[in-house]
Amino acid sequence: MPNENLIPFDKRTEEEQRRIASDGGKASGAARRRKRSLKDAADLYLSLPVSDRRRWNKIARRGIDPEDVDNQMAMIIGLTEAATQRDAKAAKVIVDLLGDTANDSGGAIEDDPITKSLKETIDAVTETNQDT
């Protein structure tokens, strides 16, 4: 059986235990860096301007400042449209983004400038959707 070849961690020498722990720490650091780079890539892509001219025009017609027409705005508008059409999952995502609870620093999430900006954007898009 393959299990017969396994040696329990506590039965290994201190040197082996240190080496295994070191290897695990290195692998953990690499995984953290990879995840961070994925987050950075997502942040970069979301901050890029909308490349589809029709989509850009559709967003701009809603009264969004042309400087703010990026992929993040397109995503928020899409979520808002879905939520106003009774898509509960989209509504939940928006509520989770905005949050109604205190953050870790003890202040309300509503005090966060990014959250305020998101709320203003969602309010503007919602008003535009209701007008049409």
Determine if residue 106 is left, alpha or beta; phi over 0 gives left, psi from -120 to 50 gives alpha, anything else beta: left
Which band of pLDDT confidence, cut at 50, 70 and 90, is reported for residue 76? very high
Phi, psi of 86 (to 5 degrees): 75, 30
pLDDT for the residue numbered 49: 92
pLDDT digits (tens, 9 = 90+) for 101-125: 444 444 455 566 667 777 777 777 7
Q: How far apart are CA 95 and CA 33, in angstroms?
A: 29
Average pLDDT, the chain: 82
CA separation for the pair 10, 17 (Å, rounded):
8
- Which residues contact residue 82 at a Cβ distance below 8 angstroms, ignoring those fewer than 6 apart? 89, 90
Q: Given this model, what pLDDT does residue 97 score?
A: 87
Please choose, from the candidates 46, 68, 56, the residue with its C-alpha nearest in 3D space to the C-alpha of residue 120.
Answer: 68
Cβ-contact 63, 128 below 8 angstroms: yes
Residue 75 pLDDT greater than 90, yes or no? yes
Q: For the packed helices 71-84 and 14-47, what is the interaxial angle rounded to 10 degrees?
A: 80
CB atoms within 10 A of CB 43: 10
Domain locations along the chain: 1-47, 51-132
pLDDT at 58 over 80: yes
